[in-house]
């Protein structure tokens, strides 16, 4: 949006740098952060002052207020709005110019389940209308429901760009959760059989590169009791984690130890630039 100067590279919209657009709001709509609003200004006046910059008719202000469901509180000061209402106002601002390209940064932040579903339907609806809708989010399960294509960026680099289905299928192909009283013995044997094994905080093993039946057979041969043997297909979240394993900026201390995925070698060096 030309708000922050890039360290390197360029960004263009419809082939032109954002700053050179003739009618920025009519070409790109953006929800950047909720509540980037003067608390003393009413929702309607906030949208009106934005509309006027791009010569957008006043009637359009009421249209978008209606579309996001804020018509009843349009005259109220935005400072009194809840997080969800602020989010809706931000979305209204993005829609103001009826643009072909829309950018939403964390659109469901602070919304209740009803609001989340509303945003999901809105985004899909906008895409159906022929618009390009970019959504950045850390909520992988939400993205799995909403997005067609996924772009994974970590440490400022493009890691993956492909349809959601392909991404999850191409990922490690899932893993198997294994619980056993003799976990350590089983782990050694599994690694000996070529599997990569991670230990969850609760002691469960997450096993990759070997299928559940083979694990069961191995356990039987060893005479080890299994308490759980649960295969998982990769979710978008897991595919994301696998892809960005070496580019996590801030890692929680108790993050699951899934270090041995062959496609993503671990990198212990400090990282800059988080996953988007």
Partner 1 sequence: MTTATTTTTEPDRLVPARLPPGRYSLVDLARSEWTKLRSVRSTLWSFVIVVVLGVGVGVLATAETRAHWATSGHGGFQPIRTSLIGIDIAQLVIGVLGVLVMTGEYGTGTIRATFSAAPRRPLVLVAKTGVFAVVAVVISEVVAFLSFFLGQAMLTAPATHATLSTPGALRAVVGSGLYICVIGLLGLGLGVVVRHTAGAIGALVGVLLILPIVVSALPSSIVNAVQRYEPLQIGKMMITVPTDTGVRAILRGPHGVVRHVVLHGGGGGTFTFSPWVGFGILCGYVVVLLVVGGVLLVRRDA
Interface with partner 1 (CB under 8 A): 1-5, 14, 18-19, 21-27, 30, 32-33, 35-42, 45-46, 48-50, 52-55, 93, 97-101, 128-132
Token couple for 115: 């609001």
Q: Which is nearer to partner 1, 100 or 231 (CB)?
A: 100
Cβ 206 vs Cβ 197: under 8 Å: yes
| Relative orientation angle of helices 83-95 and 113-128, to the nearest 10 degrees | 10
Angle value at C-alpha 187, between 183 and 188, nearest 5 degrees:
125
Cβ proximity to partner 1: between 22 and 253 the closer is: 22
**Nearest distance, CB of residue 82 and partner 1, angstroms:** 17
Cβ 11 to partner 1, closest distance in Å? 12
Cβ atoms of 225 and 180 closer than 8 Å: yes
Cβ nearer to partner 1, comparing 130 with 270:
130
Q: How far is the CB of 72 from partner 1 (least distance, A)?
A: 19
Using DSSP, state whether 21 is helix, strand or coil.
Answer: coil
Min dist. Cβ of residue 229 to partner 1 (A) = 45
Closest distance to partner 1 from the beta carbon of 51 (Å): 8
CA separation for the pair 132, 101 (Å, rounded): 5
Distances (CA, A) of 108 to 83, 128, 143, 192: 10, 19, 11, 45
Which residues lie closer than 8 Å to 13 by C-beta, 6 or more apart?
21, 27, 28, 101
Q: Report the residue number, 46 or 187, with the smaller CB distance to partner 1.
A: 46
CB nearer partner 1, residue 21 or residue 159: 21
The nearest distance, CB 2 to partner 1, in angstroms, is 5
Whichever of 105 and 246 has its CB closer to partner 1, that residue is 105
Cα–Cα dist 199/206, whole Å: 6
């Amino acid at each position: 949006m030309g708000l922050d100067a890039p360290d390197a590279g360029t960004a263009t919209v419809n082939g032109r740098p954002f700053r050179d657009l003739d009618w920025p709001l009519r070409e790109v709509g953006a929800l950047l952060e909720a509540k980037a609003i003067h608390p003393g200004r009413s929702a309607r006046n906030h949208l009106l002052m934005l509309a006027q910059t791009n010569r957008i008719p006043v009637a359009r202000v009421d249209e978008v207020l209606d579309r996001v469901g804020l018509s009843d509180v349009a005259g109220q000061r935005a400072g009194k709005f809840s997080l969800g209402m602020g989010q809706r106002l931000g979305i209204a601002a993005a829609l103001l110019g009826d643009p072909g390209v829309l950018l939403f940064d964390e659109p469901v932040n602070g919304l209740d389940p009803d609001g989340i579903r509303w945003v999901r339907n809105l985004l899909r609806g906008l895409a159906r209308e022929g618009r390009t809708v970019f959504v950045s989010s850390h909520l992988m399960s939400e993205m799995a429901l909403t997005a067609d294509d996924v772009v994974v960026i970590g440490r400022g680099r493009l890691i993956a760009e492909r349809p959601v289905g392909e991404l999850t299928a191409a990922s490690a192909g899932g893993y198997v959760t294994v619980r056993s009283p003799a976990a350590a013995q089983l782990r050694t044997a599994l690694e000996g059989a070529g599997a990569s094994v991670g230990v969850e905080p609760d002691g469960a093993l997450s096993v990759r590169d070997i299928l559940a039946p083979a694990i069961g057979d191995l356990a039987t041969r060893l005479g080890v009791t299994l308490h759980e043997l649960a295969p998982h297909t990769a979710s978008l979240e897991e595919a994301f984690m696998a892809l960005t394993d070496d580019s996590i900026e801030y890692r929680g201390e108790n993050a699951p130890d899934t270090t041995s995925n062959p496609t993503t070698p671990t990198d212990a060096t400090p990282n800059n630039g988080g996953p988007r």
